[in-house]
Structure 1
Amino acid sequence: MPQSAPNYQLFKRLYLLIAISLKGFSQVLLVGNTFSGCLILIGITLHSPALGVMAFLCSLVGTITGKYCGGDHSLIRNGIYSFNSILCGISTILFLHGDKRWFIALFAAGLAAISMKMLTKVLDKWNIPVLTIPFVFITWFGLLIAYRVDTLYMDPDFVISSPAMWNLPVEGTPTLLTGMIKGIGEVFIIDSLWTGSLILLALFWAGWRFGLYAIIGTFVSWLTAYFIGADTYSLNLGLYNYNAVLTIIAVSLVFDKKQRKTPITGIIAAMLTVPVTAGLELLLDPLGLPALTLPFILCSWLFIAMRKVFQKYKIKQKVPV
């Protein structure tokens, strides 16, 4: 028994590390559930086994980095230090070519965890959630470097357009169901019906509201993009949907203390991500940068701030003069 005790402790630590790292996958969608994270990882792996392995390694790196950098213990156990690491690793592999991109993906994962710790310490003073800020800025910085060095180069499938090309052709047949499901998969920058379907299943596993709100968010954003004349190619890829999915979950569930019957504010916020995405893409295209999840961050911050302002106003109205 004494000899097996160290092995048991090692197994227990390894199991906990894997469970926390899997939870990081679900935290990309603001959900803390290990089995949901496992479903998401399966979806990524079905799309690309190599990408699935790298995403899991990046999650491990984020978790370990958060622990040894003195991160908050409860945040580490909830996978908070690994979800930005996962996104950074995936974006590095998908956007870049070159033998060194695998090492860079792991480095970016560690950097994302460190950035998460630093930003959490700063933004917590104003009760502002960090969300996916590390992922956005680390990815942007990495892409800008790739344009200026020879060891890395952009994936030819990663097309950068200019403002002159914004009026993209609208020919073709928009497919609502395909665009909606792929839009959920695009949260992880993956164009796959299987990945999108498993992510949706993971959300329902975490709670029926998460799954239902994701469907509502991707539906209203798809319709909004369609009626403002978005190009068919982007519609069918779900490029206008993934920010809406994250935003409606953030605004109507995660950062809403009251249980509401209908996610009205979340729906409005989800719809707003569409024109915000279009505007940001127009601004960032000349730099060769994608909007990524910045529309989600901006719209979520806006509605969270508005809700706090309205709550303070109501409290003042109730206080007798």
Structure 2
Amino acid sequence: MWTDGKTDMQDAGRKRASSTGRVIKSLMALNGDMAHLDKYMQDKWFVLQLAVWALRGVTRVILANNPLSGAVMLLALYWASPWQGLLGTLGVLTATLVAVILGQDSAEVWGGLHGFNGMLVSLLMGAFNSAGDWYLWLMLPVCLGSATSVFFFSGLSPVLDRWDLPVAVFPFNMVIVLYFLCTGPDNPHFPHHLAVPPSSAPPNVTALSAAQVLQGIPLGVGQIFACGSLGPSLLILAGLCLYSPLQAVHALLGSAVGTLAGLSMSVRHECLYTGLSGFNGALGCMAVGGLFFTFSWRTHLLAIACAFLSAFVDIALSNLLGSIGLPACSWAATLSATLMLLLRGSLSTYRIPLARVKAPERNLCSRSRWEAGSTVERDSTDV
């Protein structure tokens, strides 16, 4: 009797452990890059495949790659503004479809690498549009601008590949500047607001609110999607955490560093409160803090340095471009992260080849494996 009871208890314990293991395994399958989903979708309808590619494109905006996170972030955009959500959806779908029609590299299309620039183009056009929400004529430049970003991406890719550099958001920054220069604020069909330099007059005349400055830190993460609402920004952060908790931590850290840089330069309080001072710092910090470099205490410090550099460059470019009414967009983070990727010396040993970049936690776990593989490849290709 006692032996039978003990056996039953052991069996029950094994079942509980097995159930817990299955739950943990299922949860693990939902974070990171979800590469298994691509294999599952290979024989599915094109519409379903397109949806997955587009959702990956949504997360690429914030340096992630997870369709489930993309669904959460897209939901946040519709929560903040249904009109902006619609424009973002139109932009990512247009760019992805154009990439498919032009026969771009299938791996890039599946990974959402063509869609995210189109989404950013559409979101910025909507954010600066002065004709108000639901101005349907705006859909025309949104589609054209999103399609144009695919051509820029395709043209820049072989050039930057020589140095193993990502195209990143160079296409978005180029297309949106061209759009604003072509239309102007008084265009009868596509008018837009002029960008205001962060250090412009009138000077700050009210006392600084610490609570609003702290609120601006998570808003800096939302501003990567041109979203200035706290609730949707927190939901975007939750979607990023689903992809990679380490990436989410670096996003908040980078936004805080950008806010601190803005405080040191006495930028307008509005820039601090709305997160505009923090979003370039968040992007720079995420790019270095585990995505393109293996996470360590040294690359963590480098990520903080990149966040400071991105924030200060953003202030400088915003003052320069703002003098003619143009936004600085994410030029600062793009240029700063590219500079960090070109570093030589001991820090370059932490650099991850673009073809092997995954979620930061998986980059950390697989470092020894890809280093071993690279050594074998070099030995086998020596002449």
- State the TM-score, normalized to the length of structure 2: 0.73
Report the Cα offset of residue 129 of structure 1. 1.5
Query: Which residue matches 1:46?
Result: 79
Deviations 1:247-266 (A, max 9, x none): 1111122211x331461100
Structure 2 residue 192 is the aligned partner of structure 1 residue 150: no
Determine the structure 1 residue equivalent to 2:275: 238
* Match of residue 232 from structure 2: 195
Question: Does the C-alpha gap of structure 1 residues 137 and 292 become closer, same or farther in structure 2, counting only changes over 3 Å?
Answer: same
> Where does residue 4 of structure 1 map in the other structure?
none
> Per-residue deviation at 1:88?
0.5
In structure 1, how many angstroms separate the alpha carbons of the residues matched to 2:250 and 2:195?
31
Distance (Å, rounded) in 1 between the aligned partners of 2:347 and 2:248: 28
Q: 2:311 aligns to what?
A: 274
Asked whether 1:91 is paired with 2:124, we answer yes
**Residue 25 (1) aligns with residue 25 (2):** no
Contact 1:225 1:240 in 2 (8 A): yes
C-alpha contact (below 8 Å) 2:197/2:322 kept by paired residues: yes
Q: Following TM superposition, by how much is the alpha carbon of 1:135 offset from its aligned partner in structure 2, in angstroms? A: 0.8
**In the alignment, does 2:150 pair up with 1:113?**
yes
Change in Cα spacing, 1:218 to 1:163, as seen in structure 2 (3 Å) is closer
2:296 to 254, 257, 260: 260
Superposed CA RMSD: 2.3
TM normalised by structure 1 equals 0.87
Contact 2:95 2:114 in 1 (8 A): yes
1:55 matched to 2:88? The reply is: yes
| Contact 1:22-1:56 at 8 Å conserved across structures | no
CA distance in 2, matches of 1:166, 1:271: 24
Q: In 1, distance between residues paired with 2:42 and 2:240?
A: 32
* CA separation of 1:117 and 1:176: change in aligned 2, threshold 3 A: same
Does the residue aligned with 1:288 lie in a helix, a strand or coil? coil
Alpha carbons of 1:309 and 1:61: their partners in 2 closer, same or farther (altered >3 Å)? farther
**Alpha-carbon deviation of 1:167?**
6.4
CA distance in 2, matches of 1:272, 1:176: 20
CA drift at 1:54: 2.1
Partner of 2:13: none
1:289: how far off? 0.4
Quick one: which of 250, 258, 274 aligns to 2:287? 250
Q: Is the 8 A contact 1:66 1:117 kept in 2?
A: no
How far the C-alpha of 1:12 sits from its partner, in A, is 2.2
- Report if aligned partners of 1:180, 1:222 keep a CA contact under 8 Å in 2: yes
Match of 2:362 in 1: none
Instruction: Summarize the alignment of residues 155-234 of structure 1 with structure 2, pairs less than 5 Å apart.
Output: 158-161=193-196, 165=200, 168-169=203-204, 171-172=206-207, 173-174=209-210, 175-234=212-271
SS of aligned partner of 2:162:
helix
Q: Is the 8 A contact 1:214 1:245 kept in 2?
A: yes
Paired amino acid for 1:67: V
Q: 1:201 to 1:308 in 2, by over 3 A?
A: farther
Identify the residue that residue 3 of structure 1 maps to in structure 2: none
| Alpha-carbon spacing, 1:62–1:77, altered in 2? closer, same or farther (3 Å) | same
Alignment check: 8 A CA contact 1:251 1:300 kept: yes
Name the % identity. 24
Equivalents in 2 of 1:79, 1:145: separation in Å?
A: 28
Cα distance change of structure 1 residues 275 and 311 upon mapping to structure 2, 3 Å threshold: closer
Change (3 A) 1:285 1:170: same
> Where in structure 2 are there 5+ consecutive unaligned residues?
1-40, 350-383
Q: Offset of 1:77 from its aligned partner?
A: 0.7
1:268-319 Cα distance to aligned partner (Å, 9 max, x none): 110122221111012112221010000111110111112468648xxxxxxx
How many aligned positions are there? 301
**Is the partner of 1:153 in helix, strand or coil?**
coil
What SS is found at the alignment partner of 2:271? helix
Retained in 1: the 8 A contact 2:198–2:268? Answer: no
Tell me if structure 1 keeps the 8 A contact 2:121–2:172: yes
Contact 1:170 1:231 in 2 (8 A): no
What's the CA shift for 1:159?
Answer: 4.4
Which whole-Å CA distance do the structure 2 matches of 1:235 and 1:164 have between them?
12
Question: Given that residues 72 and 235 in structure 2 are in contact (C-alpha distance below 8 angstroms), is that contact kept between their aligned partners in structure 1?
Answer: yes
| Distance 1:164-1:291 versus aligned 2 partners, 3 A rule | closer
Q: Which runs of 5+ in 1 are unaligned?
A: 1-7, 313-321
**CA-to-aligned-CA distance 1:16-47 (integer Å, 9 cap, x gap):** 11011011110011111001111110010001
